[in-house]
Structure 1
Amino acid sequence: MEFREVVRRRRMVRRYSDAPVDPAVVDRMLAHAQRAPNAGFSQGWAFLVLDTAADVARFWECTGADPDTHNAWLDGVRTAPVVIVPLASKDAYLERYAEPDKGWTDRSEDRWAVPYWWVDTGMAALLVLQTAVDEGLGACFFGIPGEHVDSFRAAFGIPDDHAPVGAVTVGHRAADAGARGSAARRERRTNLVHRGRWGTTVGP
């Protein structure tokens, strides 16, 4: 598929069929994710792959999705057979930039105008989403509620120096998995690009 078509077709898919996902496709998603740009080649990310029914069920349980609670969003995304959780390690960046070739002599977080451990892991997650489109699959990125991060860590043994930036469900798109809710009623904005000076907009 042409790259421009991948970008055009990317949508957050919130309902999946019961068809299994080829493990080789998941491996390609993760290989592509690790090609994302990352400050100082710190590679301060990791990916938790949940691809068994038991692990996926545990993910939903520990992140607050009570199996007896039903709403349109949860009932849809819980049909995904695969969940990938991208995790960011701030310590990896602080350590990398305290090395001699970077010129900093300490690990102070104050040196960072932008927390690139979050930025870079987010870009890696986007490559997972784009690879899903290229492979003919659907995917959805969403956040893990803050009040359930500790239970998520405990359920899967996540080390203290890694934090989830969100989670990505992956599967074959269900036939009725069109856009839903308020997002479906919003038009894509075209005045967000400015050239030379704020207020001078560039069209799509």
Structure 2
Amino acid sequence: MEFQDVVRRRRMVRRFTGEPVADESVLRIMRNAVRGPSAGFSQGQAFLVLRDAELARFHEVVDVMATDSVRTAPMVVVPFSVKDVYLDRYALPDKGWTDRDEDRWPVPFWHIDTGMAVLLILQTAVDEGLGAVYFGIRADGSDRLRAEFGVPDDHVPIGAVAIGHPAEGSTSEGASPLTRARRPFDEVVRFGRW
């Protein structure tokens, strides 16, 4: 599929057929996720891929900020940002900072870079002929997630991505693009000055 087709076709899919995702597709999706940009090549992202019994357990223990329809997806990826990896990396001699001061960062790149990896997951799913939806995990669900799946304490889940074969009409129910128009290009993009 051409890249512009992937961008144009990417939508948040909210209902899935339940048909399993092929192992080859899972590996391609995750291999692309780890190719995302990373400040200082810190690589402070981690991913938990859940299928089958682990996925059922995820839905039991984690309160998600999504409709029940995401439970029809045969796979969920939980992306984690790891701030300490960035702070450690930028305290190395080649970066010139001698401390791990978080205040040096104008924005939390650990979350931003992990978000970029999520976009690669969403786009690769489209390229594989699959559907996907990003959804939030409630703050109080993070500790339960870590405890249930043995996730280190310094790994912060930034949400989750349900992936599967889209059911017919899977993007219509509750989809904002049906009720809200995309903002005009000229209101969002400025060239040279505001």
Normalised by the length of structure 1, the TM-score is 0.90
Pairwise mapping of residues 182-193 of structure 1 onto structure 2 (< 5 A)?
183=176, 184-190=178-184, 191-193=187-189
State the alpha-carbon separation in 2 of the partners of residues 80 and 158 from structure 1. 22
In the other structure, the counterpart of 1:194 is 190
How many angstroms apart in 1 are the aligned matches of 2:174 and 2:121?
Answer: 24
Which runs of structure 2 are paired with 1:165-184 in the superposition (5 Å)?
A: 165-181=158-174, 183=176, 184=178
Question: Aligned equivalents of 2:141 and 2:18: distance in 1?
Answer: 27
Mind listing any 5+ residue stretches in structure 1 that lack a counterpart? 66-72, 199-204
User: Offset at 1:136?
Assistant: 0.3
Kindly report structure 1 stretches of 4+ aligned residues shifted beyond 3 Å: none
For 1:68, the equivalent position in structure 2 comes to none
Q: Residues of 1 paired with 2:182 and 2:69: CA distance?
A: 24
Offset of residue 182 of structure 1: 5.8
Does structure 1 residue 56 correspond to structure 2 residue 55? yes
1:57 positional shift: 1.3
Structure 2 counterparts to residues 126-137 of structure 1, below 5 A: 126-137=119-130
Question: In the TM superposition, what are the counterparts of 1:1-204 in structure 2 within 5 Å?
Answer: 1-52=1-52, 54-64=53-63, 74-181=67-174, 183=176, 184-190=178-184, 191-198=187-194
Measure, in 1, the Cα distance between the counterparts of 2:74 and 2:174: 23
Q: How many residues align?
A: 190
The separation in 2 between residues aligned to 1:108 and 1:47, in whole angstroms, is: 26
State the 1:60 CA deviation: 1.2
Q: Percent identity?
A: 59
SS in 2 for 1:179: coil
Name the aligned partner's letter for residue 188 of structure 1: R
Q: Deviations over 1:59-90 (max 9, x none)?
A: 1111126xxxxxxx533110000000011100
1:108-140 per-residue CA deviation (whole Å, 9 max, x = no partner) reads: 101001110000000001000000000000000
Q: Partners in 2 of 1:195 and 1:57 — Cα distance?
A: 48
Superposed CA RMSD in Å reads 1.2
TM-score (norm 2): 0.94
Q: For the residues of structure 2 that align with 1:117 and 1:170, how far apart are their CA atoms? A: 23
Unmatched tracts of structure 2, length 5 or more: none
